[in-house]
């Protein structure tokens, strides 16, 4: 049975932990507002960009004159997975859920006889995947020193992917990230970025039956916009990840704070009962000694 001193030290330790988790929750809440605003502000541009690209892609088709970023290499044997996670932990299942989706996708591809290569963005994803998929890891992007994700960070990742694609190091590239819904809901998502895959939304397709003339022609426009589209999709994924990370951390720290409070209450009750038992034993010893006299 723990002594009164042990219980008291344990209570003080849990109280200190609760102060830390509460502070982390408040910091995450402050960062979440900025990250959520950034993610939500980027969605209209990304959606409209994808709609324009879908129209251009549909007009060009998959012919011989289509850009290579749109038509692909003609094979899907070598698959590149870009797994985006956080640089830090203490954010619930945020990192593990993304890594779990990536591992399931990698296992499926391997079972189909495909060659899988993995690039990690974020230290936590690399740590998780290194244990069972270390032979597939080919590179890592470190964003530890980046305080706020910017377009330049996404463009650097996109330029690296495009260079690898031009060198024929892979056939298909897929990014993995977490789409932000709200504080308690973040959806792990897989999105193919190379070759580009754009789908026309129903409301966009049915909005009007207009036919557009492009100047210059569609091929020239796509040749300029497709590389930018890869960077745009990666940037959007990084913003969604940033908001999801802070939302998951805020939720996790809130749960930790509540659990610490419940533990303090239980330990306090145990401390009071132990203290009462000690006092009762002392009274019994005094009374027994007095009666013995």
Is pLDDT larger for residue 111 or for residue 65?
Answer: 111
Is pLDDT larger for residue 287 or for residue 30?
Answer: 30
Q: What is the pLDDT of residue 62?
A: 59
Residue pLDDT, tens place only, 208-238: 555 566 666 667 777 778 888 888 899 999 9
31-253 architecture in CATH? 3-Layer(aba) Sandwich (3.40)
Residue pLDDT, tens place only, 162-194: 999 988 889 999 999 999 988 888 899 999 988
Q: How many other CB atoms sit within 10 Å of the CB of residue 107?
A: 13
CATH number of 4-20+254-292: 1.10.287.80
53 Cβ neighbours under 8 A, 6+ residues apart = 196, 198, 222, 225, 226, 229
Confidence of residue 102 (pLDDT cuts 50, 70, 90): very high
Which sequence spans correspond to the domains of the chain?
4-20+254-292, 31-253
Which residue, among 251, 242, 33, 26, has the nearest Cα to 122 in the 3D structure? 242
Judged against a pLDDT cut of 50, whether residue 206 lies above it is answered with: no
Mean pLDDT of 242-259: 91
Q: What is the pLDDT of residue 194?
A: 85
Q: What is the pLDDT of residue 202?
A: 53
Q: How many other CB atoms sit within 10 Å of the CB of residue 93?
A: 15
Mean pLDDT of 110-130: 90
Q: What is the pLDDT of residue 283?
A: 80
Q: What percent of the chain has pLDDT over 90?
A: 30
Mean pLDDT of 34-49: 87
**Which range has the worst mean pLDDT, 3-12, 59-68, 159-168, 206-215?**
206-215
Q: Which two tokens stand for residue 109?
A: 């591809």
Judged against a pLDDT cut of 90, whether residue 144 lies above it is answered with: no
Q: Give catalytic residues, as residue numbers.
A: 91
Q: What is the pLDDT of residue 17?
A: 92
186 Cβ neighbours under 8 A, 6+ residues apart = 94, 97, 178, 179, 180, 244, 247, 248
Residue pLDDT, tens place only, 76-100: 899 999 999 988 888 888 899 999 9
């Amino acid at each position: 049975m723990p002594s009164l001193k042990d219980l008291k030290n344990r209570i003080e330790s849990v109280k200190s932990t609760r102060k830390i988790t509460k502070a982390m929750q408040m910091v995450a809440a402050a960062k979440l507002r900025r990250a959520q605003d950034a993610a939500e502000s980027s969605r209209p541009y990304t959606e409209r960009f994808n709609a324009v690209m879908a129209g251009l892609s549909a007009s060009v088709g998959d012919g011989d004159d289509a850009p290579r970023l749109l038509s692909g290499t003609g094979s899907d044997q070598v698959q590149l997975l870009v797994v985006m996670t956080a640089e830090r932990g203490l954010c619930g299942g945020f990192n593990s859920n993304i890594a779990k989706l990536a591992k399931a996708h990698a296992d499926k591809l391997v079972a189909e006889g495909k060659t899988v290569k993995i690039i990690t963005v974020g230290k936590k994803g690399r740590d998780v995947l290194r244990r069972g998929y270390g032979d597939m890891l080919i590179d890592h992007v470190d964003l530890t020193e980046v305080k706020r994700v910017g377009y330049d960070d996404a463009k650097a990742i996109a330029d690296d992917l495009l260079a690898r694609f031009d060198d024929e190091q892979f056939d298909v590239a897929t990014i993995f990230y977490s789409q932000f819904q709200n504080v308690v809901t973040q959806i792990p998502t897989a999105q193919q970025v190379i070759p580009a895959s754009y789908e026309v939304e129903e409301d966009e397709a049915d909005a009007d039956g207009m036919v557009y003339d492009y100047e210059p022609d569609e091929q020239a426009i796509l040749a300029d916009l497709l590389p930018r589209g890869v960077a745009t999709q990666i940037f959007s994924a990084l913003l969604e990840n940033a908001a999801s990370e802070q939302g998951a951390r805020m939720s996790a720290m809130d749960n930790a704070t509540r659990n610490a409070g419940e533990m303090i209450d239980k330990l306090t009750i145990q401390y009071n009962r132990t203290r009462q038992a000690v006092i009762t034993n002392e009274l019994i010893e005094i009374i027994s000694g007095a009666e013995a006299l």
